[in-house]
Amino acid sequence: MKYIIFEDFGGQETPILFPDRILHEEMRDQIPYARVLAAGKVVCIDGKFLCQGRARSLNVQARPEDSAVLSRHFQEEMSS
């Protein structure tokens, strides 16, 4: 899968996961006002997210902290 992490209007890092067949720039166009912090590809191995790569079209890449951002987001969703 691919992902983009946006900074929402409250300053929170908000990830979006989407299928590989969708281009990063196509997903970016769906959220035009938020700032893009990172993007790349993600896999889940043994319950842990591994983020890597880059989105050349957005001029961003995966960051070391992206896996933790995704994990936190899913933990928050599960506890809601």
Per the prediction, the chain carries an average pLDDT of 93
pTM assigned to the model:
0.91
pLDDT tens digits for range 22-62: 999 999 999 988 999 999 999 999 989 999 999 999 999 99
**Domain residues for 7?**
2-79
Q: How far apart are CA 9 and CA 43, in angstroms?
A: 27
Split into its structural domains, the chain has a count of 1
Q: Residue 30 belongs to what H/E stretch?
A: helix 24-30
Residue 24 is given by DSSP the state H
* CA pseudo-torsion sign 64, 6, 41, 60: negative
pLDDT tens digits, 1-21: 999 999 988 999 999 999 999
